[in-house]
Chains A and B, each alone.
Chain A
Amino acid sequence: MTSPPGSAPVVPKESGTTKTRRPLRRDGIWPWLFVAPLVGGVAVFYLWPIIQTAWFSLTEFGVFGGTTFTGLSNYQELFADPDLYKSIGNTLLYTVIVLLNIPIALVVASLLNTPGLRFAAVYRVLYFLPYVAMPTAVAMVWRLIFNGDFGLLNYVLGWFGIDGPYWISTPGAAVVAVSIVGLWSSVGFSVIVLGAALKQIPPELYEAAELDGASRWRRFRAITVPLVTPSIAFLSVVTVIAGFQLFDLLFAVLGNSYSNPTIYDSMSLVYMFYEAGFVTNEKGLAAAVAMVVLVLVALATLVQFRLQKKWVHVD
């Protein structure tokens, strides 16, 4: 199959036959040299670890390293643990709230798409900055805003006679607080993606509808929304996948289990993974949590792809 690169006689002989075959002979060892560093790294640090985690989830880690096969006992322990269901519930609540970024972004993107609008680039940057900022850095100011004693949010709620909770240490409230930060930081990305999709819509469609007397709302409903459904579908898949992996914001806003005992009521699946794997050192259990995340993400993605056949507009 391989011949040394640049061996002259092969080329003319091959050029007479199928065209796609030619590079096969001429590239020789080169393609392997090109892919080796990446494929090697990915195999060692990603592919093999996936298999190992699946194995870890069936084992018990000994004190001195080494593992004992324990079958499904980690899963039994996990499914009997009320923390798992709390974590799944919190993760779902967070994901559902953050999904609201898509309708918000759609409104923003279509406002930005107003013909002849000035400063559109400036607005785009302002909406996008929260997406770029380091989650652990912005979490600091959000912690302050959500502070139960001197936070700005409860102060403002006080104007309306509402006695705000201790957001960060109240189960339920804490997840809502973190979801608000997640929503805030994800709008910008959706604005960019939807903005690009809106640009593809021919302006004649809007002009024709306007001549027919369609209102702005009507045009939004009948032209804009159906034509950006592929991008909405993309964003909802991406948001759900990211939502299931909630960790950074939760950790940075709520802290760890030493400083915030209520974390167990507010944690996400990945937080549970982190606690088991690196705090309480139950690596087999942590691996089982990781496998649960994998299955849930795969299921959610599959369901979304199925449903998309019903509502995504295809040209």
Chain B
Amino acid sequence: MLTRPVGPRRNNIVVHLALIAGALVMMFPFVWQILMSLSTNAEVQSVTPHLWPHELQWGNYAEVFRQLPFLHQLRTSALITVIRVLAQIAFCTLAGYAFARMHFRGKGVMLAAVLSILMVPSQVYLLPQYQIVQDLGLLGSLTGLLLPGLFSAFGTFLMRTAFLALPAELEEAARLDGANPFQVFWHVMLPLIRPSISVLAITSTLWSWNELLWPLVVTTNSDDMPLSAGLATLINDRTVNYPVVLAASLLATAPVLILFIALQRRVIDGLATSGLK
């Protein structure tokens, strides 16, 4: 007890120094990306690196919209993400509720089948998914991009867990008042799992926004691609304009970074608890 006032104080400075050093390493690529996105292509490619651009080239950001189908791709990314998030919330809360709180034949088998997907690597279902989309004539279309991602086994698991944790009394009271199962679900139970729904919304946003392999196989025209695939195809260009590509990359990743910083407490708490069990 006697050493307390001195000990932790001094230790804290060491702790801060260690954490700051680590944070610098973690942040460095972002900082470097910002600096290089504001440089000229010659500066980026000079053998002695320029730490600071001689003159900030804000025009690189305007070039992104002139040289790349950036707005097209941004629109595609935003559309598929919003639709998938809404669909996942709708389908997963409904199914999660039934799996958690209702009794019906075949429930165990269906639940086991859905959850078994969590353990299967995505490549195992990718080829047939591609075939289905091809057979439906949807290659390169927004619907084709959207399709398999409307359904989520992880989301079902998350929603079921959330509903399982709710007390049964609320539900029973509503049922005695004559509410039908959908009314109980919609008016009583759904509002109570809002925190879990936001975790699902955030994780599915991240997943959809950043996803690469599926968009890469179902789209061939860069105008049809979402940002993730659009950026990835740029690296194969011989005459790459580094500052413009870096500016585009920053613009592409900015929406989720901003979303995450705005909601960080919720995301961190949600992910932490989903990782505990």
Contacts and interface: CB of A to CB of B under 8 A. Distances in A.
A167 interface: no
Contacts of A188: 26
B264 interface: yes
- For the residues of A in contact with B, the DSSP-based class is helix
Given A137-B250, A145-B29, A255-B235, A111 B124 contact: no
B30 A129 contact: yes
Contacts of B113: 39, 42-43, 47
Contacts of B119: 297-298, 301
Contact of B253 (A124, A137, A278, A290): A137
B249 A138 contact: yes
Interface string B66-104: 000000000000000000000000111011011101111
A117 B12 CA distance: 7
Contacts of A69: none
Interface stretch (A50-58, A171-179, A218-226): A50-58
Interface stretch (A79-87, A92-100, A241-249, A307-315): A241-249
Contacts of B272: 192-193, 195-196
A124 B206 CA distance: 18
Nearest to A1: B105
Given A32-B104, A35-B110, A189 B250 contact: no
A20 B101 CA distance: 11
Nearest to B35: A141
B52 interface: no
Contacts of A56: 127-128
Nearest to A151: B49
A97 B95 CA distance: 38
Interface magnitude class on chain B: 35 or more
A130 interface: yes
Interface in A250-301: 251-252, 255-256, 258-259, 270, 273-274, 277-278, 283, 286-287, 289-291, 293-294, 297-298, 301
A27 B49 contact: no
Given A41-B151, A150-B47, A252 B273 contact: no
Contacts, number: 309
Interface in B256-277: 256-257, 260-261, 264-265, 268, 271-273, 275-276
A298 B116 CA distance: 12
Contacts of B249: 134, 136-138, 140-141
A241 B129 CA distance: 21
B88 to A, nearest CB: 9
B15 to A, nearest CB: 5
Interface string A129-155: 110111111111111110001101001
B147 interface: yes
Interface magnitude class on chain A: 35 or more
A5 B26 contact: no
- For the residues of B in contact with A, the DSSP-based class is helix
B199 interface: no
B181 A27 contact: yes
A246 B268 CA distance: 24
Given A34-B98, A39-B110, A294-B120, A127 B127 contact: no
Given A31-B103, A34-B94, A192 B271 contact: yes
Contacts of B121: 241, 244-245, 270, 290, 293-294, 297
B107 interface: yes
A235 to B, nearest CB: 8
A258 B123 contact: no
A45 B125 contact: yes
| Residue in B49, B153, B256, B257 with the greatest tally of chain A CB atoms within 10 Å | B49
Contacts of B97: 34
A187 B129 CA distance: 32
Contacts of B185: 34
A162 interface: no
Contacts of A247: 212-213
Contacts of B22: 108, 127
Interface of A: 1, 5-6, 20-21, 23-24, 26-27, 30-35, 37-39, 41-50, 52-53, 56, 108, 111-112, 114-117, 119, 121, 123-130, 132-145, 149-150, 152, 155, 184, 187-189, 192-193, 195-197, 216, 231, 234-235, 238, 241, 244-245, 247-248, 251-252, 255-256, 258-259, 270, 273-274, 277-278, 283, 286-287, 289-291, 293-294, 297-298, 301
11 contacts: A42-B114, A52-B131, A123-B23, A136-B252, A137-B231, A137-B252, A187-B26, A193-B275, A248-B213, A274-B216, A278-B216
